[in-house]
Amino acid sequence: MSSKLKFFLLAILFIFISLQYGWLARKHVANFSTTVTKKYLTITQGFDEFIKEHLKQKRTIRKLKERNSILEQSAILSVAFASKLNDLLEASGKAPYDPKLELVQAISYANLGNHYRVWLDFEDFDHEKIYGLVYGGYSAGIAISEGGKPLALLQGDPKSIFSVNIGEGDIPGVAMGNGETIHVKYIPLWMEPKIGDEVVTSGKDTIFFPGVPVGKVVEIVLEESYQSVVVRPYASVKAPIYLYAIK
């Protein structure tokens, strides 16, 4: 058989095999390519998520360190301020100022459908006292005795009552819960509270110590013999787990 004829037959055989089995080879190549692509995308996506999570954690750690530094400075200044205050009180013959806080736990709602009354687990509770409650650094309501047991009246409750000061002029008033807001009543008519004024506890009722942030004034209401303001509270305490009681 001549070499030309052999080459011609081999060419025909190659074309025949390509037509019959080429699709199978292309299929395997395509499947392999798809698998590799998927694996690459999965690894790349996972790596991107790892990098993002790592950067997020670094930002969180940095913020926590900054906050811790601020809190540490505040604690040092508070100790210095308390020491100076007690020196002044001692010089005037008064008892040292030494407020204490106790962590208390909410057990259950006192009434179904009322999220502003909560039974407390309060170890050193004195049923003859009224306690101020703090949540997240803000006023949260008061704790009273109900049948000899500690009951939290969160500051949305109308019987959650304590004295406050309004604005830079320390305008006096009495805060009462009103659902999502707080109403501060019995403000003298000649005083001038303003929208945006900050409201803080006054400490005059011995329930809270002075200066605990309560909220900001959002509305002023004129009454017949006095005026009142509506306050948007800083704290949202419908379902607290732990609060601090001022002792």
Assess whether pLDDT exceeds 90 at residue 47.
no
What is the residue-averaged pLDDT of the chain? 77
Query: What is the b/e burial string over 32-55, where b = at least 16 CB atoms within 10 angstroms of the residue's CB?
Result: eeeeeeeeeeeeeeeeeeeeeeee
pLDDT confidence tier of residue 247, bands split at 50, 70 and 90: confident
3-state secondary structure of 92: coil
Listed by start position, the domains of the chain span 1-98, 99-247
Provide the 8-state DSSP code for 3: H
pLDDT on residue 41: 55
Helix, strand, coil percent values for the chain (each to nearest 5): 35, 35, 30
Least confident of 26-40, 102-116, 131-145, 208-222: 26-40
CA distance 74 to 48: 39
Task: State pLDDT tens for residues 107-154.
Answer: 888 887 778 899 999 988 999 999 999 988 889 999 999 988 999 999
Q: What is the CATH code of the structural domain delimited by 99-247?
A: 2.40.10.350
- Assign 219 a pLDDT band (cuts: 50, 70, 90): very high
pLDDT band at 84 (very low <50, low <70, confident <90, very high): low
Query: Is a pLDDT exceeding 80 seen at residue 216?
Result: yes
Q: What is the pLDDT of residue 102?
A: 87
pTM: 0.63
Q: What percent of the chain has pLDDT over 70?
A: 62
How many distinct helices (H) and strands (E) make up the chain?
1, 12
User: Residue 157: pLDDT band by 50, 70, 90 thresholds?
Assistant: very high
The confidence band for 70, taking pLDDT boundaries of 50, 70 and 90, is low
Give SS3 for 199.
strand
Q: What's residue 89's pLDDT?
A: 60
- pLDDT band with cut points at 50, 70 and 90 for residue 170: very high
Residue type present at position 162: F
How large is the average pLDDT for residues 157-173?
94
Tell me how crowded residue 112 is: count the other CB atoms within 10 A of its CB.
7
The pLDDT > 90 percentage for the chain reads 35
